Structure 1
Amino acid sequence: MNLGKWNGVVLAGIALAFGVAGGYEVARQRMSGAAGSAQEQSQGSSGERKALYWYDPMYPQQKFDKPGKSPFMDMQLVPRYASGAEANTTVSISPDQSQNLGLRLATVTRGVLDSSLEVTGVLAFNERDVAVIQARTTGFVERAYGHAPGDVLKPNEALADLLVPEWAAAQTEFLALKQNGDADLLAAARQRLRLSAMPAALIAQVERTGKVQPILTLVSPIGGVLQELNVRAGMTVATGDTLARVNGLGSVWLAVAVPESDAGAIAIGQTVEARLPAFPGTVLKGKVSAILPQTNPDSRTLSVRVELPNPDGRLKPGLTAQVRLSRPTGQGVLWVPSEAVIRTGRRALVMLAEDAGHYRPVVVQPGQENDGKTAILNGLEESQKVVASGQFLLDSEASLKGIVASAGQEPSPSTAVAGLHEADGQVIEINDREVTLAHGPFKTLGMPGMTMTFPLADPALMQGLKAGDQVRIGVSQTDEGLRVERLEKSGSQP
């Protein structure tokens, strides 16, 4: 056989193989389609499921006897069916679908949640470290030492010289009595010098030198920044005039703006770490010294004051800082990744992963959030699995199927009353099975006030109540909606 014929035989064999494989695949798809069609026909022949009632997934406790638009939200009511309990409580996803959707699970963990808050702050003068220099007597400014506001002064640095004429006469009398040698008169003269506001050091200088000293040199009692200077050569000063004001730099205040949503976690003595762009790599440590009582109405922030030591004077008021507030650590809490929590505005949900690829929406009570983790106060147990990625797709599927999110931990009968949701209201109508109430908001449910009819957990709850009574209501959340567990008259009745 020559080469040309051999190539033809090979090509024919390859074509035949592809044809057989293609035919098999077409046949397999047709058979699968036929099987699927038969299955659909089988499901259709079994009859449609009967809807027990219709409800709004955001308010599952309110039931409606026919489909329509929700009075609470801009959406259509969804049905609750009489059969298929498992299908109506979970979403089932096959492993292949889970991989295609990119579902990622996370474990509910118990531990100490790193509690810290990152905010910004600005350095300011320590207003407790202030020295005010005032005129203690009337005089004239003989000399000003050339300082200006903003200068950094050393302790006891001279500011101005004052000429006090009254002191000259008093000192002359004192020196004359000293020469006379009368101790009693000399003591009285010395007392008059003190009462004329003459410093003790100046009196000692006069007594030691025997010369009149009518010049008073004003000095800064502390080192710091000269904030105010009101003396000029030749001017007259009166008793009590403020001549200068000096702010010390031994320590500075760090004014921290804390959002009002985090204000409840701030406490006096809390540890603070500050990092300034002016000093890269340097971490300054301090403690919260004061929480100011007023919130900024524009930024909705609370001002927190931290005192920082400044021994070398390099911290300048006005510098900005990145501040880390370490909150007091408590006992271990349950936490999940923050991305696993679905916040609807009225409540928070997670998609709980169950066996065999089933997922169920669960209402949780989230706590503080930090570093990508959210504490869970109620609704989950340790070691459970939640969906951390792709949960929004599951939540949408659950809404389309009419699955109502439930509490993760069902209360036992002995503890059911302890977890009631409470509100105030007025009885509109009541019998041994149900009560119609005009109630206020159930804050723990995020449910606004309205007029609704609730089933009674016990017919005895109606005893002693009639239409028009003001009552305190306690309801529990069940699979069938809200149920009244406690109904008591309010303390004040009309």
Structure 2
Amino acid sequence: MKRATLVAALVAGGALLAVGGFYAGRSTQPTASAPDAATTSAERKPLYWHDPMVPGPRFERPGKSPFMDMQLVPVYADEASDGGVKVSSTVQQNLGVRTAVVKKTDVSSSFDAVGAVQFDERLNVAVQTRVAGYIERLAVRAPMEQVRKGKALATVFAPEWLGPQNELLALKHAGVAPDLIAASRDRLRAMSIPDALVRQSEETGTAQARFTLSAPAGGVVAELGVREGVAVSPGMTVFRIAGLEKVWAVAEVPEAQAVSLVRGQKVKAVLQADASQTFSGELKEILPQVSANTRTLQARFEVDNRSGKLTPGMLLRLQVAGATTSRLVVPSEAVIRTGTRAVAIVRKNGSAFEPREVKLGADLGDQLEVLEGLREGDEVVTSGQFLIDSEARLKSVLGAMGAAQPASEPAMAVPAVYSAEGKVESVKADGLTISHSPVPELKWPAMTMHFRRADLKAFADVKAGDAIHFEFKKQGDGYELVSVQRMGGAK
């Protein structure tokens, strides 16, 4: 009997030692792992801050929410996948998911336009007669003939000039005072008789009625208004000469590009028929008229043509130089356009993706400028993004539906009910304003907000300042009280 008692005592003592060692091990285990936990917590850096009540907008630093009476909540890397979707590497390979990196690139506002060569109308010169007479002989007989400055164009017979010239010759033969001779010369000059013709009359002693019209500038005879033998009158335009030292190149420029044009902007003109021939030019004018059919403006460029190789009607490819700026761009295929918004799918890590709404700028062909929504270095999906976006939107919808009824009763979805404790700040006809404790299920921090009540007579005994325990649910665009119980009081 004593031996059995001794054995039992030894067994009990061994059990006590084992239990004591187990608890001792548990009590020392947190001490060993505490530094690791503290280090992990210290290393966690928020990706951004947001308002759980309005989770869309993101903020780069903490502060008070502009939407609710609460502080912004940090979102960490391991929590940021709530608004996205995870796709395994196998599914990514099956979908053919390809990505590209958002980067900054130097974008030039230069563009090409096609312009048609025209005469520079500022260089046009009109050749007129200032006396009545006849065209005796034409040296230029066809329009578009090139002439040099000083070349003879036509010979004109003006009988009205004979009388004044004979009068001057008679005065000189009579030996009258020099003042009278000078006055006679002034009269001839007032009648537009050329000085050379007057000198010729004085040298030969015979009045001259024939004179030659010469080209005042080089160019092309754009207009020929007479033929041999026809009568001319004072002020009549006999020839019109268009200068060719400079020509106009008139191009149709789209509205989107015309707004960046500046008068005086340099341009390189390349002959459409021969790319080896180039000319320098300058933007002189943007005509204030928009074509209703093509939505373009006409830009007038002045092109140097001292070589004389450009003639009206030729086509020039105008390379308009513009300023170079650094812009954030993504491939055009990475952006999903729905008509009301533009979305890009961002890869957050190997298998997590997130749809991101972006604001676009200029269309750069195979690239799009991004003004908001993305940062340099972000990795965006360029192939398969439609499936990922639809999956993310489906997940977002299902996550917001709350608890649902069993599959055998598919008629309605039952809203989830949440509970919290707080203090009544004010009582209004439609509900209560409550400063409540955090709600982990909704990721809400402690804050003050208004809760509606379904029945205006419900919770009539609750007053401002009461400490309460309450339950609520999502209802429409707000939250509705289900029950309110004063702490230590009746419902």
Q: Sort the TM-score into its range (normalised by shorter chain).
A: 0.5 to 0.7
Paired amino acid for 1:370: L
Cα contact 2:108–2:323 (8 A) shared by 1: no
The answer to whether the 8 Å contact 2:279/2:305 transfers is no
Q: Alpha carbons of 1:458 and 1:209: their partners in 2 closer, same or farther (altered >3 Å)?
A: farther
Say which of 68, 75, 87 aligns to 1:93: 87
Spell out the pairing of 1:29-40 with structure 2 (5 A cutoff): none
Aligned residue in 1 for 2:333: 339
CA distance in 2, matches of 1:333, 1:458: 42
Point out where structure 1 has 5 or more consecutive residues left out of the alignment: 1-59, 62-84, 405-430, 434-456, 460-480, 484-494
How much has 1:396 moved relative to structure 2? 4.0
Structure-2 change in CA distance of 1:103 and 1:239 (3 Å): same
| CA positional deviation for 1:359 | 2.2
Instruction: Give the TM-score normalised by structure 2.
Output: 0.61
Q: Secondary structure at the match of 1:96?
A: helix
Q: What are the residue-to-residue correspondences of 1:446-457 with 2, within 5 Å? A: none
Q: 2:98 aligns with which of 104, 115, 137?
A: 104
Question: Take 1:213 and 1:387, find their aligned partners in 2: how far apart are those partners?
Answer: 90
2:314 to 286, 311, 319: 319
Q: Distance in 2 between matches of 1:212 and 1:164?
A: 11
Residues 115, 370 of structure 1: 8 Å contact kept: no
State percent identity of aligned pairs: 40
Aligned length: 330
Q: 5 Å matches for 1:189-268?
A: 189-268=184-263
- Identify the residue that residue 275 of structure 2 maps to in structure 1: 280
Q: Secondary structure at the match of 1:233?
A: coil
Return closer, same or farther for 1:185/1:110 CA change in 2, 3 Å cut-off.
same
5 Å matches for 1:17-416? Answer: 89-181=83-175, 182-330=177-325, 332-370=326-364, 372-401=366-395
- What TM-score, normalized to structure 1? 0.61
How many Å separate the matches in 2 of 1:204 and 1:91?
Answer: 100
* Distance (Å, rounded) in 2 between the aligned partners of 1:292 and 1:254: 13
Q: Distance in 2 between matches of 1:207 and 1:458?
A: 112
Tell me how far apart the structure 1 counterparts of residues 387 and 198 of structure 2 sit (CA, whole Å): 89
8 Å Cα contact 2:249/2:302 also seen in 1: yes
Contact 2:104 2:328 in 1 (8 A): yes
Q: 1:141 to 1:374 in 2, by over 3 A?
A: same
Alpha-carbon distance in 1 for matches of 2:80, 2:193: 95
Structure 2: how far apart are the matches of 1:386 and 1:270? 37
- Pairing of 1:454-473 with structure 2 (within 5 A): none
Contact 1:114 1:371 in 2 (8 A): no
Alpha-carbon spacing, 1:193–1:383, altered in 2? closer, same or farther (3 Å): same
Partner of 2:414: none
Aligned equivalents of 1:264 and 1:378: distance in 2? 23
| 1:225/1:247 contact within 8 Å kept | yes
Question: Is the alpha carbon distance of 1:104 and 1:138 closer, same or farther for their aligned partners in structure 2, counting shifts above 3 Å?
Answer: same
Gaps of 5+ in 2: 1-55, 58-78, 399-428, 432-447, 451-475, 479-491
Deviation at 1:312, TM superposition (A): 1.3
* Larger-Rg structure: 2
Cα distance in 2, alignment partners of residues 250 and 130 from structure 1? 11
Counterparts of 2:307 and 2:147, CA distance in 1: 14
Asked whether the 8 Å contact 2:357–2:373 carries over to 1, the reply is yes
Q: Is the 2:81–2:353 Cα contact (8 Å) retained in structure 1?
A: no
Q: Measure the CA separation in 1 of the matches of 2:354 and 2:113.
A: 37
The code of the aligned residue for 1:337 comes to: P
**CA apart distance, 1:281:** 2.6
CA distance in 1, matches of 2:188, 2:194: 9
Contact 2:131-2:233 within 8 A present in 1 as well: yes
Q: Secondary structure at the match of 2:208?
A: coil
Mapped contact 1:270–1:328 kept (Cα < 8 A): no
Shift, 1:101, TM fit? 2.5
Question: Deviation of residue 458 (structure 1)?
Answer: 11
> How far apart are residue 375 of structure 1 and its match?
1.9
- 1:400: how far off? 4.7
